[in-house]
Amino acid sequence: MRTLDQAMGEFSATGGGAELSGAEREVEGARDSSRSAARAAGPGAAAPRASDARGRSFGIAAPSGFRVVQEREVLALVREDRMAALIGAGLLERGGLLEGRTAEDSYQGRGSTAIVRVGDERVVVRRFLPGGLLRFLRPSTFATPERPFREVLLYEHLRARGFPTLEPLAAVARRRGSRWILHLVTRQLEDARELLGLLLPGALPIVERRALLAAAGRNIRRLHDAGVRHADLHLKNLLLSRGEVFVIDLDRSRLEHELSRSARGANLERLLRFARRRLEPQLGGQAFWRDALRLLRAYEPERSERHLLAREVLRIEARARWRHRFGWWCEARLERWRGLRRARR
């Protein structure tokens, strides 16, 4: 079977216009019948499926429970038991589900995110956008379509191991000219709160604060032990839901056979850098480092290894300090420039 990279390349080469009439009819059937089927069968009704031939034609090895759908300029990976509801809500259509026209809430981070009701549940629709300084320089489209598909594979890798993370429902790439608009659809976490807000002064009683830091440290260790090197590990990508710390936003993250101490240290340094910038001024240096040590103790209980890991984190932080500060300086001024441009319009 072809790899995901080969599948994406083949789809790009064909222009997304391959005709698979049998599968086309099934997807259209899912659209036309989803609302009436939901009324007749009620919750839990079986979802219409796109033809197997569609997935095989591009060689994408979909995770268990997912189906590959290709239609005109759209390539999608959709969870089978939600296919009818998502396609009925306009997953594959311009101006449909992915445009957030029926969004109940939205916010802007590294991606543009909307919360949309589909049937009896809320889903989170995230459009991929460049992050950091690149968002000022690059368009909101991408040269290749694979990023949301890779993210689904990582989520399913972790979920198969019982790790608390998002449940992906669909990844969608839509062609626009020679480039791609990318979206990811996930099930919304119930009552989720970012650790950044929970670790602000006075947000939690001291006992709950300590337990939260320990839980975060243990789950980051589980993430690394599962071979996942998070591309953007920080406190806004750690959520507390149902008493568990969830790790989210696996875009551009990597699955490795085994993470070295250096790789683990680099990931923890990213978390430390974000926390120092956002929390240390409010907590004070002594309280901040006490919290950091509590998280590190939960991550690595063995003392000698913990000291080596802490040394690696601080070495990476010292080496990159001025580069990151320069980046923050540039980002602040570009944000100000963009704000002035908007005000003049």
Annotate 90-123 with DSSP letters as a single string.
TTTSTTSGGGTTTEEEEEESSEEEEEEEETTEEE
Q: Report the alpha-carbon distance of residue 224 to residue 108 in Å, rounded.
A: 27
Q: Report the alpha-carbon distance of residue 193 to residue 205 in Å, rounded.
A: 16
Give the CA angle between residues 284, 276, 239 to the nearest 5°: 110
pLDDT at 8 (0 to 100) = 53
- The domains found in the chain, sorted by start residue, are 4-187 (no CATH), 193-333 (1.10.510.10)
Ordered per-residue pLDDT tens for the chain, 345 residues: 344 454 455 555 555 443 333 344 444 555 554 444 444 444 443 333 333 333 333 445 789 999 999 888 999 999 999 999 999 999 999 888 888 655 566 554 455 889 999 989 999 999 998 765 555 566 688 999 999 999 999 999 999 999 999 999 999 999 999 999 999 999 999 999 999 999 999 999 999 999 999 999 999 999 999 999 999 999 999 999 999 999 999 999 999 999 999 999 999 999 999 999 999 999 999 999 999 999 999 999 999 999 999 999 999 998 877 776 776 677 677 767 767 666 776
pLDDT at 29 (0 to 100) = 52
Q: Report the alpha-carbon distance of residue 142 to residue 175 in Å, rounded.
A: 9
CA torsion sign for 166, 170, 175, 181 is negative
pLDDT at 35 (0 to 100) = 44
* Torsions phi, psi for 145 (to 5 deg): -100, 0
**Alpha-helical segments (H) within the chain:** 4-14, 21-41, 52-58, 83-88, 147-159, 195-198, 206-225, 261-278, 280-283, 285-299, 303-344
What are the structure tokens assigned to 79, written together?
């969870």
CA 41 to chain CA centroid, nearest Å: 32
Q: For residue 61, which of 144, 3, 12 has the smallest C-alpha distance?
A: 3
User: 104-140: string of b/e by CB count within 10 Å (b at 16+)?
Assistant: eeeeeebbbbbebebbeeebbbbbbbbeeeebeeeee
What are the structure tokens assigned to 296, written together?
């590190």
pLDDT at 99 (0 to 100) = 80
For residue 16, CA distances in Å to 70, 145, 250, 273 come to 8, 11, 26, 42
Q: For residue 141, which of 118, 169, 175, 164 has the smallest C-alpha distance?
A: 175
pLDDT at 106 (0 to 100) = 52
pLDDT at 61 (0 to 100) = 73
pTM of the model: 0.80
